[in-house]
Structure 1
Amino acid sequence: MPGTHAPAPARQAPRPPGPRRARGGRPRPPLLLLGPAVLTAAVALLPLAYLVVRAGEDGPAAVADVLLRERTARLLLRSLALAAAVTAACLAVGVALAWLTVRSDLRHRHAWAVAAALPLAIPTYVAGFAWISFAPQLAGAPGAFLVLTACSYPYVLLPVSAALRRTDPAAEEVARSLGLTPWQVFRRVTLPQLRPALTAGGLLVSLYCLSDFGAVSILRFDTFTLVIYTSYQASFDRTPAAVLSLLLVAVTLVLVLLEWRSQGRASYSRVGGGGQRPARPVALGRLAPVALLGAAAVAVLSLGVPAAALVHWTVVGASRGLPLADLAAAAGTSLGYAALGALVTTLLAVPVGLLAARRGDRLPRVLERISYLGHALPGIVVAFSVVFLTVRYAYPLYQRTPALVLAYVVLFLPLAVGAVHSAAAQFPPALEDAARSAGARTAEVLRRVTLPLAAPGIGAGAALVFLTCMKELPATLLLQPLGSTTLATQLWTETGVAAYSAAAPYAAVLVLLSAVPTYLLGVRPRVAGGGPR
């Protein structure tokens, strides 16, 4: 009709911004995290840049000469064989102990869980010193395999235990109700859910074995790390050591790529709260005595022998008087360096771990893998690269605390990144998507949703880095500020002249201080994860 107007269409309220999507429907990584993650990867690449510069100084012919030596091939085979054997043993021991302490009715299983994690507090050079002082015939490959396995299996135990506590027990209960045996349930239902934890733990063990220096040097077993250290110390020509280090980096890249492919594109996040319900313990029945005997044997080999050696030599040293003032000073210095290293490393690892857990595109996954490179390098190589960089480009930082902290960051980034990644992968991206669809900005989603949910993993990663910084030896030897000493460096000095009674008090204090974060790593995940009590 004239004079009338059709009603104007109702104006729709603007839709709140949803998560940005990349090709294929996956969320793109937020720029808020991408910048810090790229910075973290650049820090991790610093030693590699140093090695490339150093190895190329004498030309391709010198590089080829080192690579084609028969000794290089022999070292490669020995190092890979040791890493493969230790990784296989750690996977078997770590998975068995994790299942026994989380999902079975093993008597006093919570006490066994704490005891199983405590070997993390014992540096490999302390364990090697303990075994060689009791059984000198173990020098060589048998001793290196035994010591590295006894010290490294918690790297598998802890992530597998955390995964067992967080996975939904309903699927296992249904499988048992259908008549499957406990072994069939574990193989068909439980084990596939543990794949991310197994691959991450196995990779850490492999890299740890390839980069270990303390145990192989005390037990006199030639590997890449020992030969690189000898080459650095015995010659002014750094080219052979740099070439061998680059070969070690190449091996690391192969291992990381294999781990990357093994995970595939499967999603392991949990939807809902089913994983928080305590699982019904599996009855061991007639196997209970065998399980107890196995747990006790692992505890004796990994804790009993080192503890007995420390007690023996500490008693011998106490009869001559303990240097209490020196012990206190070294302990305070160790705690300060380790705390600072853990703080900086965790701050740099958080953006990488969070982005990699979401896997919005290829870049976050590449950044995560780059962060693993430094962990395979011997501490001596990382230390020399930091010396090179500070002398050439930042001389005021030479022999200062920031240089030592930088070495800790490069060496131990994977420990924090892996913990953050595992924690973030356990909660579904739908929670963050829901917050964005409600109008929350990226920074607010990160602060109110992502970081609180990932907090247990971030804390565990910080504790693990703190623990490892306390035990780090080669980098600390070369980079600690002038006039300072740590428990590890003083222990190494005394052991180098076979003064076992003088070294034992420093080793005992180091183990006691390291036991605190180790205890927290063994106990706190059970509380946070809601596992059986």
Structure 2
Amino acid sequence: MTTAPVEAGRPAPVLRRRAAGLLPHRPVLALLACAVVAALAVPLVFTLVQAGQAGTGQAQRLLERPLIATLLWNTVTLAAAVTTACCVLGFGAAYLVERTDLPGRRWWTVALTMPLAVPEFVRGYSWVSLFRQVHGYWGAVLVMTCSLYPLVFLPVAASLRSSDTACEEVSRSLGRGPLATLWRVTLPLSRAAVAGGALLVSLYLLGEYGAFAMLRFTTFSTAIFTEYQLGFDAASAALLTLVLVLLALLLVALEGTLGRHGGRPARTGTAPRSASRVRLRRWTAPAAAALAVLVGTALGVPLYALGYWLVVGGSTTLPPASIVDAALTTLGYAFAAALVATAAAIPVALYSWRRGTRWARSLERLSYLTRALPGIAVALSVVYVAIRYAQPLYQQPPMLVAGYVVLFFPLALTALRAALAQIPPGTEEVARSLGAGPATVLARVTLPLILPGLGAAVAMVGLTASTELTATLLLRPTGTETLATQFWTYTSGLAYGAAAPYAALMAALSVPPVLLLTRRTLGTHHRAEKR
């Protein structure tokens, strides 16, 4: 019989702090993390400076306008409705796939994740071009829920898959039925994963523009774009952006509270036991039908719309453009941004994971705020910095890559933090005790262990950057066209048939990153089915 190490009973944060104490490069890591977050905070600083130029009087007059109350109501109610719907659908789908004997679980995992391959503004175009009555608040709720529920499904499925089922088995052995166990055990243990997914959904909604413009639903983001583009009032737009930042701060604080009070997946000292799956019996067909309706609504409608417009086509007076050149340009910028964002997220994720202090957590959470900034606010801040401090970079490709990195850095950080959470506590400390230096531990222990997370980070950032619209319209070099900008040009002229090839190619290019995100799940399901 083996004896457990003395450290085995210590909580993970204690081990992380002790491991960090053994690492002489801790100040370097802290400086790198602070430098990355400081660079990400430039758009926030720019927004504050612009808002300060408005003056107290103008700010008071703007914030007292009835329009502000309408924008606040629209934004908050939409975020609440879509986030709630995404949590219900994402958790329910993850539970059916990971905790029941539903047939075809491997296929359902891919199908439920695939809506991420359809950009939000393409989804809005699909619904609006087929159903003219889909617009306004309920149209926005429908379209955005179909787009964003996978952001909850993926982390909850990963949490359920990696957790030990001992607590649930004990609950059932005490006489509680499947529903009682689901409500009182499974859901509390998954609360942190649900809260993390809900935060991403809410922040995404705060900064979205393209889908809401097509659905004719006014939010802070669309109003900010109007102020910048039509009113040329940078100060008023910056004040509106600050309201979004305050909302984002509230969301981040709320997620932190839920995450701290949420349960953690129960683990044993060895590998987690395979789930004792709940037998659906007569509920198998209704459960499969419910998932089929969800996938059909989220994925079937956009695919049908794209197929319809590709076949029907349409005339346009706009000049033709090379779809091949646009695709290559899109891939180049998206891949460059994915690599830079992932590399920048490594020191922030490592510092937060190793230290676990309030300062480290605050530094990490500050970097999430950029996801709530509208793309146009980020773009203008990048233009301002380039003109004032880096004139040679103005209207050059690095500006667009920088804008993508600022916007989608939180996605890379989320993927890396999830991967680091799977590393057993004390792993780095053991490697250091064997004489390995900090660089060796990082290169030969930590990075290989989080390699799937690095791949997921590159996939998530690349997937999202390839379909970004608002910042691309402002930051692209003169004469440069991406799939998103060409699609927007044609849809703005109501040339739905001409826009369809660009939308279809954006969706097709997004499929490989989505499949990469589900690869580990597919491997787990394949091994389970072989048993």
Question: Which TM-score applies when normalising by structure 1?
Answer: 0.91
Give the AA of the match of 1:59: G
Alpha-carbon distance between aligned partners in 1 of 2:320 and 2:443, rounded to the nearest angstrom: 45
Tell me which residue corresponds to 1:391.
387
Tell me which residue corresponds to 2:105.
109
Classify 1:360/1:59 alpha carbon distance in 2 versus 1 (closer, same or farther; 3 Å). Answer: same
1:415 and 2:411 are equivalent in the alignment:
yes
1:425 and 2:430 are equivalent in the alignment:
no
CA contact (8 A) 2:345 2:413 kept: yes
Cα deviations by residue, 1:74-117 (Å, 9 ceiling, x for unpaired): 21111011001000000000011111122211121211110110
Alignment root-mean-square deviation, CA: 2.4
1:274 and 2:271 are equivalent in the alignment:
yes
Within 5 A, what are the aligned runs for 1:254-273? Answer: 254-264=250-260, 268=264, 270=267, 272-273=269-270
Tell me which residue corresponds to 2:493.
497
Structure 1 residue 184, shift from structure 2 partner: 2.3
Alpha-carbon distance between aligned partners in 2 of 1:121 and 1:23, rounded to the nearest angstrom: 37
Answer with 502-511 or 178-187: which moved more: 178-187
Equivalent of 2:87 in 70, 91, 112:
91
Classify 1:272/1:398 alpha carbon distance in 2 versus 1 (closer, same or farther; 3 Å). Answer: farther
Identity of aligned residues (%): 47
Structure 1 residue 402, shift from structure 2 partner: 0.9
Structure 1 residue 174, shift from structure 2 partner: 3.3
Tell me which residue corresponds to 2:185.
189
Tell me which residue corresponds to 1:42.
38
Alpha-carbon distance between aligned partners in 2 of 1:88 and 1:496, rounded to the nearest angstrom: 31
Alpha-carbon distance between aligned partners in 2 of 1:21 and 1:295, rounded to the nearest angstrom: 42
Give the AA of the match of 2:303: A
Structure 1 residue 368, shift from structure 2 partner: 0.8
Cα deviations by residue, 1:353-400 (Å, 9 ceiling, x for unpaired): 222234431221111111111100111111111111111211111121
1:286 and 2:282 are equivalent in the alignment:
yes
CA contact (8 A) 1:341 1:408 kept: yes
SS in 1 for 2:450: helix
Alpha-carbon distance between aligned partners in 2 of 1:249 and 1:518, rounded to the nearest angstrom: 29
Alpha-carbon distance between aligned partners in 2 of 1:466 and 1:268, rounded to the nearest angstrom: 30
Tell me which residue corresponds to 1:56.
52
Give the AA of the match of 1:363: W
Answer with 427-436 or 512-521: which moved more: 427-436
Structure 1 residue 134, shift from structure 2 partner: 1.6
CA contact (8 A) 2:106 2:526 kept: no
Answer with 85-94 or 263-272: which moved more: 263-272
Structure 1 residue 431, shift from structure 2 partner: 1.9
Question: Which TM-score applies when normalising by structure 2?
Answer: 0.91
1:300 and 2:291 are equivalent in the alignment:
no
CA contact (8 A) 2:382 2:399 kept: yes
Equivalent of 1:476 in 466, 469, 472:
472
Structure 1 residue 319, shift from structure 2 partner: 10
CA contact (8 A) 1:224 1:244 kept: yes
Alpha-carbon distance between aligned partners in 1 of 2:174 and 2:13, rounded to the nearest angstrom: 43
Alpha-carbon distance between aligned partners in 1 of 2:16 and 2:498, rounded to the nearest angstrom: 63
Cα deviations by residue, 1:256-296 (Å, 9 ceiling, x for unpaired): 11111222277848564422x43233211111111111101
Structure 1 residue 133, shift from structure 2 partner: 1.5
Tell me which residue corresponds to 1:13.
none
Tell me which residue corresponds to 1:199.
195
How many residues get paired? 512
Alpha-carbon distance between aligned partners in 2 of 1:386 and 1:458, rounded to the nearest angstrom: 26
SS in 2 for 1:309: helix
Cα deviations by residue, 1:193-246 (Å, 9 ceiling, x for unpaired): 322211110000000111111111000000001110011111232111010001
Alpha-carbon distance between aligned partners in 2 of 1:206 and 1:531, rounded to the nearest angstrom: 35
CA contact (8 A) 2:227 2:236 kept: yes
CA contact (8 A) 1:345 1:409 kept: yes
Tell me which residue corresponds to 2:164.
168
CA contact (8 A) 2:95 2:157 kept: yes
Cα deviations by residue, 1:32-83 (Å, 9 ceiling, x for unpaired): 4222211111121010111111111232222222222221122111101100
CA contact (8 A) 1:21 1:27 kept: no
CA contact (8 A) 1:162 1:526 kept: no
Classify 1:272/1:332 alpha carbon distance in 2 versus 1 (closer, same or farther; 3 Å). Answer: farther
SS in 2 for 1:471: coil
Give the AA of the match of 2:109: A
Alpha-carbon distance between aligned partners in 2 of 1:173 and 1:265, rounded to the nearest angstrom: 23
Alpha-carbon distance between aligned partners in 2 of 1:249 and 1:469, rounded to the nearest angstrom: 21
CA contact (8 A) 2:207 2:371 kept: yes
CA contact (8 A) 1:27 1:360 kept: no
Alpha-carbon distance between aligned partners in 1 of 2:99 and 2:238, rounded to the nearest angstrom: 47
Answer with 517-526 or 478-487: which moved more: 517-526
Classify 1:176/1:42 alpha carbon distance in 2 versus 1 (closer, same or farther; 3 Å). Answer: same
Give the AA of the match of 1:35: L
SS in 2 for 1:136: coil
SS in 2 for 1:532: helix
Alpha-carbon distance between aligned partners in 1 of 2:196 and 2:478, rounded to the nearest angstrom: 37
Q: Which has the larger radius of gyration?
A: 1
Listed as ranges, the gaps of 5+ residues in structure 2 are 1-11
Classify 1:532/1:95 alpha carbon distance in 2 versus 1 (closer, same or farther; 3 Å). Answer: farther
